Structure 1
């Protein structure tokens, strides 16, 4: 009689859930975002990608900072987006600072109106 009680106790213990990672937030390869899934306005104007190449090859979590160009062309604003650090020499944007995307910055350099 004692042996059957001991077996019941072991099976009850092994059936209970054990702590561990839930894996709820893991993405499968089929669910990962590709650059073709993004609208062109969501892509970097310099590299044409949502995720910079350096970040996509990394095994670490990297937060990518973006900057939106505020150059006025005629009566419109450029509004291109660019990766800071990876696709632009700008590392940080402060509130109120103006930012030129690499396309507009290159135009200003070639036009000779670029000021330091």
Structure 2
């Protein structure tokens, strides 16, 4: 039986756990996520948004809430 991830665990842009253009490499690549301070959805930083880093107490906004 395959376990499907819940909607809240997926990126709000690509709707996946790993982005489609995530590098397939033999080296360790860290995938970072950011939580939108408006809608509380999660998004892949660097891959699915222009934001690359979110620091503690920063306000991060997903592409859906930017408009």
Both structures adopt the same fold (TM-score exceeding 0.5): yes
Where has structure 1 moved over 2 Å in runs of 4 or more?
A: none
Q: Secondary structure at the match of 1:54?
A: coil
Q: Secondary structure at the match of 1:53?
A: coil
Residues 17-43 of structure 1 deviation map (CA, whole Å, 9 limit, x = unaligned):
xxxxxxxxxxxxxx8xxxx71100000
The answer for unaligned runs of 5 or more in structure 1 is: 1-30, 72-77, 108-116
Aligned to 1:24: none
The answer for unaligned runs of 5 or more in structure 2 is: none
Higher relative contact order (CA 8 A, sep 6+): 2
Distance 1:66 1:90 in 2: 10
Aligned residues: 65
Relative to the length of structure 2, the TM-score reads 0.85
Identify the structure with the greater helix proportion: 1
Aligned to 1:50: 17
RMSD (Å), alpha carbons: 1.7
Point out the structure with max Rg over C-alpha: 1
Aligned to 1:86: 47
